[in-house]
Structure 1
Amino acid sequence: MTRRFYVTTPIYYVNGAPHIGHAYTSIAADVMARFHRLSGHDVFFLTGTDEHGQKVEQAAQNAGVEPKAFADKVAADFRNMADAMDISYDAFIRTTEPHHIASAQALWKKVAENDAIYLGAYEGWYALRDECFYGEDELIAGPDGQKLAPTGAPVEWVKEPSYFFRLSAFQDRLLELYEQNPDFLGPHGARNEIISFVKQGLRDLSISRTSFRWGIPVPGDEQHVMYVWFDALANYLSALGYPDASSPRMAYWPASLHLVGKDIARFHAVYWPAFLMAAGIELPRKVFANGWWTIEGQKMSKSLGNVVDPRDLVQEFSLDTVRFFLLREVPFGGDSDLSRKALMTRNNVELANDLGNLAQRTLSLVARNCGGIVPEQGARTEEDAKLLGQVSLLPDLLALQLDRCALTDALEEVWKVIRACNAYIDHQAPWALRKTDPDRMADVLRVLLDALRGIATLLQPFMPRSMAQMLDQLGVTEGERVFAALSQPLPAGRQLPAPQGIFPRYADPEPV
């Protein structure tokens, strides 16, 4: 039976424009989706936009437009960003779509039927920026003594009627979930924070508001709109057709992986599984929280004017250079810094030099000395077998790394082999063998072609466009690019196109 893999990004909040942090999570999810497709798995990849809530209502008012018109414009911008970053999503959900509204209401009814929702009155500290309520013990003091959320967001005292979710009733079940499923939540730091938060004691959660109207009406009481996070988290089910059990997409549930930013780990690792437990729905397999990006060592903020639109980076550098850098620079799950110098260095050293130069040298030698034709597989020396053995291990090594969301480590596994290939070509010196042992030269070049084929095949999820170019130059047909095809050698005698450079080098312009 074909393995199913359901991966999601968070749905991005439309109170502002897309930035590099949104692109980062989307690219990571895209790598996961592409890797599993190339592994022969049945993949469903979901992204989209979160469009309700007080912040969106206020942003629309400030822009002088209706909330739906405002959401339409920003949602289109997020879809454009995803397309510009070559995100291979299967569905782009918007929480203003009628089917999502009906699905979120169905989930509410199911939770309510199981006596996990009750009507009360809320009085407490609310951070509009976070769309989150905080207890007095969670607040911190600001520079002028005002109360702030632990995220630094301003808070205000809110008092209004509210429906509550019996979150406190799920504390023990959540702790049991984390204990019995250590891989449910990652990375390690986020897991520890969540467990500590739950162990401190969970209070029932306010899940409706009456002070604004831009939201999904609560079933049976339209004076209330749903708390934006109850609405938003339901998207992972509504995109599959919930509550219609006959929907073909429901076969993808439970989700294999929710990729989220670390600032929203609590919502996905505490509230979401508790909602699902209350509804009697199977839980997702894994939630993984990636870190934040600073820009040239500074926190990204509108006031500093350093918010980076990933599309601007792609205009200046190649798309695959940007994708590679974001996933290569810092271990996935940690915080990262984006600097032009670091981006150019990664490109020039690892893409242009290590990989690009290796491919260019190999293909140029084949063109010049073998008539551009793939040589026969010859007798293999111990060095040949060692190198090709390293290549043959890559599919399983990458699968293991990606199963634990170690995208940076997965790239390092490939780069170990690329470095080994460079040492091999330098040591074997096929340019010298042309005069002394042309048969051995052909054998060496064939080993390098086979190694490059494996490398380029496995790097497709990370750099789909440039690896498509490399596979074209290696004579690998469209049908030979899945991982299973690596078990079959490329036919000897295949004519290769003229080699061309794939990775340009970048340098800052000289000062005038």
Structure 2
Amino acid sequence: MMSGSDKGAFYITTPIYYVNDKPHIGHAYTTLACDVLARFKRLDGFDVNFLTGTDEHGQKVESSAEKAGIDPQLFTDRVSQNFRDLTQICNYSNDDFIRTTEERHKIACQKLWKVLEDKGYIYLGSYAGWYAVRDEAFYTETELTKSADGKFIAPTGAEVEWVEEPSYFFKLSAFEEPLLKLYEEQPDFIGPDSRRNEVISFVKGGLRDLSVSRTTFKWGVSVPGNDEHIMYVWLDALTNYLTAVGYPDEGTAAYKKFWPADLHMVGKDIVRFHAVYWPAFLMAADLPLPKRIFAHGWWTNEGQKISKSLGNTIDPLALIEQFGLDQVRYFMLREVPFGKDGDYSTRAMISRVNGDLANDIGNLAQRVLSMVFKNCDGKIPDHGAFTAEDQELLAKAGGLLEKMRNDFDKQSFHRGLESVWEVISLANKYVDEQAPWTLRKTDPPRMGTVLYVLCEVIRQIAVLLQPVMPQSMEKMLDQLSLSVDQRGFQTLGIPLVSGTEISKPEGIFPRYVEEE
């Protein structure tokens, strides 16, 4: 894929995925959004660093490994591999894959701890409170509800237990004002607005010092100078974003180029850790803050909340097998406004595959390129002067990059795609109105111009859709005989050369036919 660095660096991260289970639709969704943005930025001339990986420490992993009767490291090796496999199968273009069990990460965590301790932000005390093993998080009494059988339940639905143990604390309370000032001065620091408001309200409710170590289990990064304590999994996990660019060595080329991160993409359930704890740790360590944190919504399945107990989790690999990889990639970013909750339904998927892909863009490319192949000696035709209709369609296609840039920079992927489909729809309408099959008999030069305009519009659309559907758009650009160096966004303004031979067009988006 084309990559340039004339526009500077762009560092984007997924959350690191917790390895106590196999990958599901939520993991695929977050990484897909990052992949699309990373590919978009590369094509737009940025030097991109796209990071994903796995979070492998904590009590949950220790007990899952125990249950499986294997060593925690062996357990995490196996499960982490599932996430690495997912990146291959879904065609993600990540530049690095980090695991929190790596030595480079342990060094970074212990260094950050020492810095926080030396600056007086970490102290030893003792902790007593409600803890949810599933969430690796502490909750106050006011946040809990009681289940029918008298157990206390966290807002996430996880059971909590009362924990008392010695613990190191981070002076989170010292950061209430600095954090509120940050949110006010940088309104784009957290997106979307609903999450921003939620975080502001949480911080305004008052911040208490955060317990940052545990002594009741051993699977984690040990606290420097006190092996009895293991670092709280979130302090360990969040540090991965620094580890991957070379921290604690702030002199490395990667650190200088890529830190601070441009975007941390997360699910809405972990926005608090990223938008409250993480900037507070960084402020305390005098390190630059990331530029933006964006939290997307959750999927439901055919209107039902997804849960293991209901057995309705969505396996991304099964979806890909059924509908095709690029079809699933497109559906996930087009169906739901990114940032809101969305519902997966087979009907909606089939409608996108057959409507948007097979009928709209697939049919447009297939019929136009077939006409060129058949009626223009298999070459991009010559064109005469452009009419007002020709110019209008070309201008609409020419304006897409700017629209997509603006939408993608706000993580509004569905909007960017809507704009492209408006142009596809106009192009289909233009074919019907201009009727090149009739012009073939009545006005062959005009037919050439009409087909030229359409080929040019298809080229622009295919170049712009590469980040979302890389394999399909590669095929479409191959059919137009465009070389690899003619596929970056900087080439959008360079029109097709008449006389270029094209290959025999083949359908790219087959219709999905339901089995009887």
Q: Report the counterpart of residue 219 of structure 1 in structure 2.
A: 224
- Matching of residue 435 in structure 1 with residue 458 in structure 2: no
1:230 match: secondary structure: helix
Pairing partner for 1:77 from 68, 82, 105: 82
- Matching of residue 98 in structure 1 with residue 107 in structure 2: no
1:487 match: secondary structure: coil
What is the deviation of 1:327?
A: 0.5
Q: Report the counterpart of residue 3 of structure 2 in structure 1.
A: none
Residue type of the alignment partner of 1:241: G
Rounded to whole Å, the distance in 2 between the matches of 1:410 and 1:141 is: 44
Unaligned runs of 5+ in 2: 1-5
Pairing partner for 2:331 from 320, 325, 331: 325
- Matching of residue 447 in structure 1 with residue 447 in structure 2: no
Q: Report the counterpart of residue 148 of structure 1 in structure 2.
A: 153
- Matching of residue 210 in structure 1 with residue 222 in structure 2: no
Rounded to whole Å, the distance in 1 between the matches of 2:75 and 2:307 is: 22
Rounded to whole Å, the distance in 1 between the matches of 2:513 and 2:150 is: 47
- Matching of residue 177 in structure 1 with residue 176 in structure 2: no
Matches within 5 A, 1:106-505: 106-250=111-255, 251-505=257-511
Rounded to whole Å, the distance in 2 between the matches of 1:220 and 1:469 is: 57
Per-residue Cα deviation, 1:80-100 (whole angstroms, up to 9, x for no partner) = 011100000000000000000
Residue type of the alignment partner of 2:437: W
Q: Report the counterpart of residue 28 of structure 1 in structure 2.
A: 33
Rounded to whole Å, the distance in 1 between the matches of 2:136 and 2:101 is: 18
What is the deviation of 1:140?
A: 2.4
What is the deviation of 1:339?
A: 1.6
Rounded to whole Å, the distance in 1 between the matches of 2:459 and 2:304 is: 40
Unaligned runs of 5+ in 1: none
Deviating 4+ runs (over 2 angstroms): 140-146
What is the deviation of 1:137?
A: 1.5
In the superposition, the TM-score normalised over structure 2's length comes to 0.98
2:453 match: secondary structure: helix
Rounded to whole Å, the distance in 2 between the matches of 1:418 and 1:143 is: 55
Rounded to whole Å, the distance in 1 between the matches of 2:150 and 2:395 is: 63
Once superposed, what is the RMSD of the aligned Cα atoms? 0.9
How many residue pairs align between the two structures?
510
Per-residue Cα deviation, 1:352-394 (whole angstroms, up to 9, x for no partner) = 0010000011001101111110112421111111111011111
Rounded to whole Å, the distance in 2 between the matches of 1:284 and 1:98 is: 24
Rounded to whole Å, the distance in 2 between the matches of 1:188 and 1:471 is: 38
What is the deviation of 1:145?
A: 4.2
Per-residue Cα deviation, 1:170-206 (whole angstroms, up to 9, x for no partner) = 0011111111111110111111111111110011000
1:443 match: secondary structure: helix
What is the deviation of 1:263?
A: 0.5
Q: Report the counterpart of residue 73 of structure 2 in structure 1.
A: 68
In the superposition, the TM-score normalised over structure 1's length comes to 0.98
Per-residue Cα deviation, 1:293-344 (whole angstroms, up to 9, x for no partner) = 1112222222222222211111111100000011111100111111211111
| Contact persistence 2:130–2:141 (CA under 8 A) | yes
| Contact persistence 2:378–2:503 (CA under 8 A) | yes
Instruction: Decide which moves more: 290-299 or 137-146.
Output: 137-146
What is the deviation of 1:138?
A: 1.4
Per-residue Cα deviation, 1:199-227 (whole angstroms, up to 9, x for no partner) = 10011000000000000000111110000
What is the deviation of 1:239?
A: 0.5
Per-residue Cα deviation, 1:394-420 (whole angstroms, up to 9, x for no partner) = 111111001111011111111111111
Rounded to whole Å, the distance in 2 between the matches of 1:401 and 1:261 is: 19
2:82 match: secondary structure: helix
Rounded to whole Å, the distance in 1 between the matches of 2:382 and 2:174 is: 68
Q: Report the counterpart of residue 62 of structure 2 in structure 1.
A: 57
